[in-house]
Protein backbone atom coordinates (compact mmCIF):
# COMPACT_ATOMS: atom_id res chain seq x y z
CA UNK A 1 0.00 0.00 0.00
CA UNK A 2 1.44 3.31 -1.03
CA UNK A 3 1.81 6.32 1.18
CA UNK A 4 -1.12 8.67 1.05
CA UNK A 5 -3.59 5.96 0.12
CA UNK A 6 -7.35 6.41 0.35
CA UNK A 7 -7.49 4.43 3.59
CA UNK A 8 -7.17 7.43 5.90
CA UNK A 9 -8.69 7.62 9.33
CA UNK A 10 -9.53 10.82 11.11
CA UNK A 11 -6.88 11.29 13.75
CA UNK A 12 -8.06 12.97 16.91
CA UNK A 13 -5.66 14.12 19.50
CA UNK A 14 -6.71 13.21 23.00
CA UNK A 15 -5.62 15.95 25.39
CA UNK A 16 -5.81 13.57 28.35
CA UNK A 17 -2.25 12.31 28.42
CA UNK A 18 -2.51 11.36 32.10
CA UNK A 19 -5.38 8.89 31.51
CA UNK A 20 -5.09 5.24 30.55
CA UNK A 21 -5.12 4.46 26.81
CA UNK A 22 -8.42 2.89 25.66
CA UNK A 23 -8.42 2.68 21.85
CA UNK A 24 -7.13 4.57 18.80
CA UNK A 25 -4.67 6.53 20.96
CA UNK A 26 -7.50 8.02 23.04
CA UNK A 27 -8.78 7.70 26.55
CA UNK A 28 -12.15 6.05 27.19
CA UNK A 29 -14.18 9.27 27.14
CA UNK A 30 -12.57 10.68 23.99
CA UNK A 31 -12.90 7.38 22.15
CA UNK A 32 -16.62 7.15 22.89
CA UNK A 33 -17.16 10.75 21.79
CA UNK A 34 -14.82 11.00 18.81
CA UNK A 35 -13.29 7.65 17.91
CA UNK A 36 -16.26 5.61 16.76
CA UNK A 37 -17.55 5.91 13.22
CA UNK A 38 -19.71 2.84 12.49
CA UNK A 39 -23.48 3.23 12.51
CA UNK A 40 -25.94 1.00 14.34
CA UNK A 41 -27.28 -1.74 12.08
CA UNK A 42 -29.47 -3.91 14.34
CA UNK A 43 -31.83 -1.27 15.65
CA UNK A 44 -34.17 1.23 14.00
CA UNK A 45 -31.78 4.12 14.72
CA UNK A 46 -29.53 3.87 11.66
CA UNK A 47 -28.39 7.46 12.12
CA UNK A 48 -26.78 6.79 15.52
CA UNK A 49 -23.36 5.38 16.30
CA UNK A 50 -22.91 1.70 17.09
CA UNK A 51 -22.56 1.18 20.83
CA UNK A 52 -22.54 -2.63 21.21
CA UNK A 53 -23.96 -5.67 19.45
CA UNK A 54 -24.87 -3.56 16.42
CA UNK A 55 -27.23 -1.33 18.40
CA UNK A 56 -27.18 2.30 19.44
CA UNK A 57 -26.58 3.04 23.11
CA UNK A 58 -30.25 3.55 23.93
CA UNK A 59 -31.45 0.28 22.34
CA UNK A 60 -28.54 -1.71 23.78
CA UNK A 61 -29.15 -0.48 27.32
CA UNK A 62 -32.90 -1.09 27.01
CA UNK A 63 -32.28 -4.70 25.99
CA UNK A 64 -29.59 -5.15 28.65
CA UNK A 65 -31.86 -3.96 31.46
CA UNK A 66 -34.80 -5.97 30.10
CA UNK A 67 -32.73 -9.14 30.39
CA UNK A 68 -31.56 -8.21 33.89
CA UNK A 69 -35.15 -7.55 35.04
CA UNK A 70 -36.29 -10.89 33.60
CA UNK A 71 -33.47 -12.75 35.35
CA UNK A 72 -34.21 -11.01 38.66
CA UNK A 73 -37.95 -11.73 38.32
CA UNK A 74 -37.27 -15.42 37.64
CA UNK A 75 -34.91 -15.75 40.61
CA UNK A 76 -37.43 -14.02 42.88
CA UNK A 77 -40.14 -16.39 41.62
CA UNK A 78 -37.94 -19.42 42.33
CA UNK A 79 -37.18 -18.12 45.83
CA UNK A 80 -40.88 -17.56 46.49
CA UNK A 81 -41.78 -21.05 45.24
CA UNK A 82 -39.09 -22.71 47.35
CA UNK A 83 -40.21 -20.73 50.41
CA UNK A 84 -43.84 -21.73 49.76
CA UNK A 85 -42.84 -25.39 49.37
CA UNK A 86 -40.87 -25.20 52.62
CA UNK A 87 -43.85 -23.71 54.48
CA UNK A 88 -46.26 -26.30 53.08
CA UNK A 89 -43.99 -29.17 54.08
CA UNK A 90 -43.54 -27.63 57.54
CA UNK A 91 -47.31 -27.20 58.00
CA UNK A 92 -47.91 -30.75 56.79
CA UNK A 93 -45.39 -32.19 59.23
CA UNK A 94 -46.86 -30.13 62.10
CA UNK A 95 -50.36 -31.35 61.24
CA UNK A 96 -49.18 -34.97 61.03
CA UNK A 97 -47.34 -34.66 64.35
CA UNK A 98 -50.40 -33.12 66.00
CA UNK A 99 -52.65 -35.94 64.76
CA UNK A 100 -50.13 -38.52 65.96
CA UNK A 101 -50.02 -36.94 69.43
CA UNK A 102 -53.82 -36.78 69.61
CA UNK A 103 -54.07 -40.44 68.64
CA UNK A 104 -51.49 -41.49 71.25
CA UNK A 105 -53.01 -39.39 74.02
CA UNK A 106 -56.63 -40.19 73.34
CA UNK A 107 -58.40 -41.74 76.30
CA UNK A 108 -61.26 -44.18 76.02
CA UNK A 109 -64.56 -42.39 76.38
CA UNK A 110 -66.34 -43.20 79.63
CA UNK A 111 -70.03 -43.62 78.98
CA UNK A 112 -70.99 -43.77 82.65
CA UNK A 113 -73.07 -46.96 82.34
CA UNK A 114 -71.83 -50.00 84.22
Q: What integer pLDDT is reported at residue 61 of this predicted model?
A: 95
Residue 79 has pLDDT above 80, yes or no: yes
Rounded distance, CA 63 to CA 49, Å?
A: 17
Torsion of CA 25, 8, 50, 18, to 10 degrees: 10
Q: What is the pLDDT of residues 38-78, one digit of tens each?
A: 999 999 999 999 988 999 999 999 999 999 999 999 999 88
Residue 2 has pLDDT above 50, yes or no: no
Residue 24 has pLDDT above 80, yes or no: yes
Amino acid sequence: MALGSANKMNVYKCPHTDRKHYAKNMCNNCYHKLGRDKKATKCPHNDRLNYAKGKCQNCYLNDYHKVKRRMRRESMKQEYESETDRRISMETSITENTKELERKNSLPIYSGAT
